Amino acid sequence: MDYYSAFEISASGMSLERVRLDILAQNLANANTTRTEDGGVYQPLRVISQAKNTTSFHTHMSQLVQNGRYPGGVEIADIIAQKVEPRLIFEPEHPHANNDGFVSYPNINPVSEMVTLIEAVRSYEANVRALNAAKSMALSALEIGKQQ
């Protein structure tokens, strides 16, 4: 495996985690939103990821032998809105209250979102460390070649 493959794999992981952070921030920002632009209740979003070039092990190995590159990494498969029932809070004075005095808020658990946010940050940091390790190994290999 060449160093560029390691760089690409880490870069795809960092890109995925950045999108996850953006989506989590959007969910947290809309936790108390009563209406979206289309008039409905905000539905929390989730990022669905998958391995790039999902093929068999044999195909991966033959690609590695043929062109010296490992087709790895992750990609975003989809960003979906979760279909969850809204939280109903009794606020009869609120302008968006229904006839019974309840206001519909998105069913977003800030604690769960923060735990997922911390997980995304840690995954991003792990990809940065892997990228730095590959860069360090590449620089060390150049130093070995220069000493001879």
pLDDT in tens, 63-113: 666 766 666 788 899 999 999 999 999 999 999 999 999 999 999 999 999
Residue 36 banded pLDDT, cuts 50, 70, 90: confident
The pTM of this model reads 0.79
Domain ranges of the chain: 3-147
Mean pLDDT of 48-76: 74
pLDDT above 70 covers what percent of the chain?
Answer: 86
pLDDT (0 to 100) of residue 69: 60
The CA angle 2-55-60, to the nearest 5 degrees, is: 30
Range in 28-32, 70-74, 115-119 the model is least confident about = 70-74
Q: What value does the CA radius of gyration of the chain take, rounded to a whole number of Å?
A: 23
pLDDT (0 to 100) of residue 142: 80
User: Which helix (H) or strand (E) element contains residue 76?
Assistant: strand 74-81
pLDDT (0 to 100) of residue 119: 95
pLDDT above 90 covers what percent of the chain?
Answer: 59
Nearest Cα neighbor of 10 from 118, 126, 139 is: 126
pLDDT (0 to 100) of residue 25: 95
On the question of pLDDT at 148 being above 60, the answer is no
Beta bridge partners of 79: 47
Q: Residue 16: exposed, middle, or buried by beta-carbon count in 10 A (0-12, 13-18, 19+)?
A: buried
What is the total residue count of the chain? 148
